[in-house]
Amino acid sequence: MANEKAEGYMRVAVDAVVFSVIHEDLKVLLIRRNKPPFKGKLALPGGFVEENEELEGAVKRELTEETNISRIYLHQLGAYGEVKRDPRGRVLSVAYLALISPGQELASTADALGAEWHSADDLRELAFDHKRIIEDALNELRFEIQATNVAVQILPSKFTLSELQHLYELVLKKDLDKRNFRRRIKELGILKKLNEAKMEGAHRPAQLYTFKDKDYQPLKDRIQVFT
Amino acid sequence: MANEKAEGYMRVAVDAVVFSVIHEDLKVLLIRRNKPPFKGKLALPGGFVEENEELEGAVKRELTEETNISRIYLHQLGAYGEVKRDPRGRVLSVAYLALISPGQELASTADALGAEWHSADDLRELAFDHKRIIEDALNELRFEIQATNVAVQILPSKFTLSELQHLYELVLKKDLDKRNFRRRIKELGILKKLNEAKMEGAHRPAQLYTFKDKDYQPLKDRIQVFT
DNA sequence: CCAAAAGTGTTGGTTTTACACCCATGG
DNA sequence: CCATGGGTGTAAAACCAACACTTTTGG
């Protein structure tokens, strides 16, 4: 703490790992960079934090530029502060896991910005340390989907049990047993059965459910990784 | 990302939540501040990050000023970045959970700096948002002690099963069943029985153990919260 | 011989896994 | 009437929680 007047200044940015389920696949929102460094590479959406702006505010500001948002769930992943992570100079980035409920098409500006959904698995070369950040985000999501009702943040407000199970399978990368899944998810008591069915395709209609409580909450009995 | 040249500058600090078990009690290392802001209040050890210094390097530098260290285990808790958390102006702090194995007395300089061990429970008024940071650190430690072999980082290299159990009880704030604890910890296969006993006091000597692997590792079967 | 902490197994209850068939619909 | 995905229960195995007495030592 030698010289408190001068020390410790550096640039601070935020980055968001936005997950969404599109076409039966878990996707991450990435942006094609159109200037150096890493020109032409894919990167996470993000940017520098403004004066008097909260970190979460900065993430939301950056994301509203790229999506039509109803509501964004944010969970901090941590600070990525390696000295040489940005060739322009020292930049510390605070990364967030972000979830936006679906039916949120990308805003029309998004295309101009080069924003696109990419499969969360096949991540080739990304700019900066963003590959690492996405891996960390995926692990966090895997944890949360078992320990909390974070699925609320991803699914549409009405959904079938098969859709819910599908989400778990995508995130956990594991096939789950239908009967065991249904039993346990019902035991948690967080779902409400609607008086509606989803009729689609040449088969029996599916019962629709919704979450009783749409706020984020930890579950006392976590959902075990089945089968 | 309007003006990349100017935006995003702020001061960045690191803070460490150092836990240790002393006199059968879980303690946190705190420093009495001798200048404003929060003069006279207790605060976490920490300070500003220097140019070209890694975040973990900064934490270690700050801690070596206050303790005689053999080795420090660090785990990042996250970034604390509220605009108004520091009355001097904007300071983002990256907080770390830090563990130092015991027999590490505070260095002689420590006293001059006002460093002291305080019980991790009774935390009165602390400077900044440090109370919150300590709560987060305790939760992280509770998680890790069940999911990893992080106990390595706290115990002396030889220890008895009672000492190990005692550590778990302190961290989890819960009495554990002796027989169940021993069965499960042995099942994990991470301990090695030594050809030594600890003779102390008027009772049967206790078998000494050590960790087979002194590196930090996740456990596949996590230790359940017993009893 | 007393006090103190170390050490050690069994049982009943609960939880978890594995598994296969009928149902409702559209084409 | 066929194909498709929706919906349902049970039995065997694994796991967990609760519990009390004997051992070794020093004083």
The model's pLDDT over A134-148, given as tens digits with 9 standing for 90+, comes to 999 999 999 999 999
Task: List strand C contacts in B 16-55 (CB < 7 A).
Answer: none
The answer to whether the Cβ–Cβ distance between B8 and A90 falls below 8 Å is no
2.60.120.1440, 1.10.10.10, 3.40.50.150, 1.20.1740.10: CATH of A150-211:
1.10.10.10
The per-residue pLDDT for B111 is 64
d(CA B115, CA B32): 7
Within chain A, which residue ranges are assigned CATH 1.10.10.10?
150-211
Q: Please, are residues A18 and A99 in contact by the beta-carbon 8 Å criterion?
A: yes
Q: Does B53 contact chain A (CB < 8 Å)? A: yes
Q: How far is CA A64 from CA A37, A98, A215, in A?
A: 24, 12, 21
- For CATH 3.90.79.10, the residue range(s) in chain A are 11-147
Widest Cα–Cα separation across chain B: 73
Interatomic CA distance for residues B197 and A44, integer angstroms: 55
Encoded tokens for B41: 């209040």
The answer to whether residue A40 neighbours chain B at the CB level (below 8 Å) is: no
Strand D footprint nucleotides (protein C-beta < 7 Å): 2-10, 16-20, 23-27
Burial letters B23-42, b for 16+ CB under 10 A, else e: eeebbbbbbebeeeebeebb
Give contacts of A112 with chain B, Cβ < 8 Å: none
Q: What DSSP string runs through A20-36?
A: EEETTEEEEEEEE--SS
Is the alpha carbon torsion for B146, B115, A10, A37 positive or negative?
negative
Residue A162 clears pLDDT 50, i.e. is over it: yes
Give tens-digit pLDDT for B176-221.
999 999 999 999 999 999 999 999 999 999 999 999 999 999 887 6
High-pLDDT (> 70) share of chain B, %: 91
Would you give the DSSP letter of residue A222?
Answer: P
pLDDT at A123: 86
Which residue's CA lies closest to nucleotide D26 at its C1' atom? B202
Which phi and psi angles does A88 have, rounded to 5°?
Answer: -75, -20
Q: Between residues A186 and A6, which one has the greater pLDDT?
A: A186
pLDDT of residue B227 exceeding 60: no
Residue count (chain B): 227
Question: Model pTM?
Answer: 0.94
What DSSP line would sit under A200-221, residue for residue?
A: -SSS--EEEEEES--S--B-SS
Q: Which of residues 81-140 of B touch A (CB under 8 A)?
A: 81-83, 90-92, 94
Cβ distance of A81 and B55 shorter than 8 Å = yes
User: What's the pLDDT score for residue B69?
Assistant: 78
Answer yes or no: is pLDDT of A104 > 90: no
Residue of A nearest to B63 (CA): A1
Longest dimension (CA), chain A: 73
* % of chain B residues with pLDDT over 90: 77
Q: Which of A151, A119, A134 is CA-nearest to residue A217?
A: A151
C-alpha A16/C-alpha A43 separation (Å) is 10
Tokens 């530098």 correspond to what residue?
B61
Backbone angles phi, psi at B15, to 5 degrees: -130, 145
Do the chains contact at B1 and A48, CB–CB below 8 Å? Answer: yes
- Name the CATH superfamily housing domain B11-147: Nucleoside Triphosphate Pyrophosphohydrolase (3.90.79.10)
Residue with token string 């040449």: A202
B221 touching A, CB under 8 A? no
Compute CA distances A138 → A32, A42, A119, A199, B61, whole Å.
21, 18, 12, 33, 32
Closest-CA residue in chain B for A89? Answer: B52
CA of A202 to C1' of D4 (A): 6
pLDDT at position A108, please? Answer: 67
Strand C at less than 7 A from CB of B197: yes
Kindly report the nearest CA distance between residue B58 and chain A, in angstroms. 11
Distance from CA of A194 to the nearest CA of B (A): 37
Average pLDDT for A180-195: 96
Residues of A in contact with B7 (CB under 8 A): 11, 48-50
Q: What are the pLDDT digits (tens) for B113-168?
A: 788 999 998 888 899 999 999 999 999 999 999 999 999 999 999 999 999 999 99
Q: Which nucleotide is nearest to B227 (CA to C1')?
A: D17
Strand C closer than 7 Å to the CB of B204?
yes
Record: contact B79-A90, CB cut-off 8 A: no
Size of interface A-B (CB pairs under 8 A): 84
